[in-house]
Every structure is written in structure tokens, then in C-alpha cells.
Structure 1
Amino acid sequence: MIQINTNTACYSSTYINKSIIQSATIQKRDNFYCFPKHIHQNIEVYYFIEGFCKMDIAKETIVAEAGSLVMILPNTVHSFYLDSDVSCKFIHIHFEPSELNSLFIKENEIQIDILTLICSITNYYKLIPNEDIISLLYSILNEKNSTDLFSEIFCNLHLIEVLLYIVKRENITSFFLSPKSEITPRYVLFAFKYIQKNYAEKILISDIANHLNISSRYLSKLFNEATNLTVLQYLNIYRINQAINLMITTDNSLTDISLNVGLGDVQHFSKLFKNIIGINPRKYKKLLIKN
């Protein structure tokens, strides 16, 4: 495990007392409760105190039992339901990730945006937290319901601790910050940034590889090792996520949205959207309006 230098994990242009956590509550559900498939740009954290539930997350179904923590990432289709009359009690925290996108780890001259890294690898994380993290979650609850001047600050700092714990526990940085392969993370991180900057235009793997002066095949190998995705798969997921953002924040037609995210053919866009999200974009837009 790579040791993180605490002097290099910091805020940059984000007020430490800004309201980042939108809600933090203890909730209870029972009697075959069901919240249907939905999506949002926030990150949700669940810690299950009693009972269990099922969640459909993207194309996977998981069982979340007492003692487990589930973090669902932005733009991920998910649902929450009980398939029995047994009650389920849990801590539920909603927070706005964009306010923390200036939080970095730097090691071996490589700087990594923690949230971008977390959100690039998977749709959700499920783990068994230790007592320290459980204590932090309860502290967030207490501070969120307090009117003290420093409550928001403590909420944000506790949240950062929880995120860093997940980064450490899931060993996310082990590949990217490995001192034995400094060149590899540079290449993959460059690919992330290139896609994020140019996704609205036509992108070929060779475009990225040429900037790095390496072969497309070699870049594909490094990218797949780091993300378990091909460059094209990541590009498509990123484009669909941007399309969902436009569906949420604008009244643009699906044709315009398709063009704006680099998928000019609306039929191709619809097919790709359904393959990634599970339903076609027209039905999804209706779901957004309904929820």
C-alpha cells in the first residue's frame, strides 16, 4: 500500500465551510418498500445498521446487509428495494461531488484528483467499514444537524476522511502511484484528461497515443490494466454521463444532446445509451421528470 503524504492532500479554491453534504439522516424502511430506478449527479453513501435490502446498480444486483457500507457514484442508474416485510435501518448521506474535485493526492510528481479517480473505475463501492469510519459517519450526522459555526467544516473533513478510507481500502492508488511504474499512470491520466477535454469531438485511440508518442496497442494495454475498460468503453461511458447531465440541466432535444457529446447519429446514441444505462434515452428522460 502506498503511503499518502498528508501535506499533499489539500483543498484548492474550495471553501472548507461550503455546504457539500446535502443531507445526512438515519432512515428506516419496511413492508416491501421499493424506490424504483433513478439517477442523479450526487454521490450517495449508505451504512446499514439493521436488516438488509437489495439494490440494482447499473446492470448488477447486490444485497446490502447490516454492517456494510455502499457508495453509489454519480450518473449510475440504481434502485433500492426490500423483498420481504423485514425492516431495514440505515444511515443515508447525499453529497455534491463537484465541490470536492480539487482534492488531490500527489506522489512521485504524479497528481491525482481523488474523485475523478474514484468515479472512473466503477459504479459503486461496497465494503465493511471499521469502527473509525462508522464513528465518522455518526459524527457527520451530528454535525449536519447542528447550527454551530464549525459544523459544516467538520462535516466536510469527516467526509474527506471517509473518502480517503475508501481509496485506501479499495487499493485504488496502488497502481497509479506505484514508484515502479511512474510512466504508466502518467499515460493513463493523460488519456482521462484528453477524453474529458475533447469528448465532444471525434476521438480515436491513435489521437491520444500520438500525443504520448506511444503505440495505440500499448496505450490500450495500459488503460485496460488500470481501469478494466477499453479506451473506447471509457469514452462512451463518459459521453453518456455528459449526455445525462445535459438531460438534467437543459431542455435540449436528444438530437442536440447527441451532437453536443460527440455522438452525431441519434440512433447510435440511443443504442449506446440503452446498452450502458439499460433503457433508451426517451424513457430515461421521462423517468427524470417523474422523479
Structure 2
Amino acid sequence: MCQRVIANTPKFLLFDLQSALETKHLLFCADYVLVWPRNSGCTLYLGTSSHNIAPGQLALLAPFSPHRFEFESTNKGGVETQCDVLHFRLNALGQTFIDSVQFSAIKQMLDKARSGYLFDVAADSNVNKYLQVINNSYDFSQVLNLLHLLEVLSTQTRNCLTDCDYDVVDSQRIENKVRIVLKYIEENLGEPLSVTMVANQLHMADSTFSRFFHANLGVTFRQYLIEQRVRQAVRYLITTDWTIAQIGAEVGFSSLSNFNAKFKNIIRVTPREYRASHLNKQHYHANYRSVVGQLQNQLV
């Protein structure tokens, strides 16, 4: 019986350090994943294969690699098992940087990581040095730590974890599909969009599309659609003299009450209150980027 695969896409731009959690179901995400046990080994289930990873070893998984962890809750002496997982993605670095000569060795390693890699990490090695200092702070030094870690790993001897007995989706094909979906939503925002209508653009079943969308966007299709409609409504509230009802209908809300409720849930005030508070801020008319930045801050 096949295990259920669920989406797990943390919300971050470049990298995020987490503690490994034991799950009953396989996880997949749109990120590269580094796994290293700190004080005791763990079992990594990758697709239909399993691998024991001991302290002093490091596993690298490619995006969309179904995986889960299994380990004892406590180590010898009652010490809680510690196993760290570092999720990282490349799009925040920019395509020009990723395609640069300086990044080529790292890119080559990552491009060939679809079967998963296992590294042996000595306690006095540079790999361990960077593993010990990397954390989730916003210091620029942490970006450098990640790049240094990847650079050192690209020079290390590594072994493939599996023969890739599961389907690994080509990242470029994924990006193209996401681009098609987002463009379709943007161009038809005022229409009564449904999962079926958008799924048809990719020739997917509704359930398959819903999993695909959540895995790559980090939110459900419905959540994303509501947020985009509210974003567009904010622009109209600031730049037009349309009535609240007109704006709600223009961005695709079925009723004024629904528009008011969804808008307030995201922006924390009603459309009327939002417009009133911005009537005397003429710079919003002249500077579109200020509108977007201000909205993004409120959404966060």
C-alpha cells in the first residue's frame, strides 16, 4: 500500500533551519534539504527506500523528493534526540548568480542530487564548521555561511542514496506550470474562478492540481485567490473613485458582504475605512511601488 504524500513548504526566501520531526506520511517540498543527526542516528525513508544516517553524516535531498524521518524519542541517558534539517532554495539568489561561473560547481552538484547524496563529515572539517554556526538570524553572514557550506560540499566525496525509484519532477517544468497558473489567475481575477477552471489549464484533475498548487505556493488555491483579489481591490480603492460595491464586483467577489469580510480579514479594516484613511495621501497615486510595499507590509 502506497504511503500518502503530503505537501510541506515552509514560508521563507532563502533558507530555514528546523528540527527534524517524525511523521507517518512521506513529505515533499519545493526545496533542497540537508539532514544531519547531531547526537544519534535516524532512519531516512526516501521514496520506497530507507537509509540509516549516523552522526557525522549529512544527507542532501533534491526538491520534490518524498521523504520522512524515524528516530527514537530519547537518546542514552534520557537526552532528547537532535536531528537538524536545513531547507534552502535558490530562486532568492537570482538566476544571473546561479548561472555564474563562480556558482557552477555548486549548481552541478545540486543538478545531480536527484537520487540524494550522503556525505561523511569529520568533526574537524570545514563542513562541520559551517553546520555548527548556521542559524535563522537575518545577519548577512548567515547567507555567506550557507554559500560556504555548499561550496565545501561540492568538493567532497559523496555517495548516491537511491537509484531514484520514484518520479522526480523537473524543476523547470514545475516553474513553467506555476507561471501558466499565476498568469491565468491574474488575467481572469474578476471572473468566478474555480479549482476546476484553473486545473484545466494544466490538464490536471482537481485533487492533483490542489496538491500541486499548495506544494509550490505554500498556500491553498482559495487562499491565494482571495489574497490577490484583495491586493487588486486595494489598488482600486486608492487610484479610482469607484464605489465599494463596484470594486468588489470588479475583482471577483460574489457579494458586497463577502468582499467586506475577506478584505477586513486580511487588511484588518473594512474597504471603506481603508479608503478614508488614504484619501489625503496623494503620493500613493504617483508612486505605485509605495502602494505595493505598503500592502505587503500589512499582509505580513
Determine if the TM-score, normalized by the shorter chain, exceeds 0.5.
no
Higher relative contact order by CA 8 Å / sep ≥ 6: 1 or 2? 1
Band the TM-score falls in, shorter-chain normalisation:
0.3 to 0.5
TM-score by length of 2: 0.39
Higher normalized strand content (fraction of residues) = 1
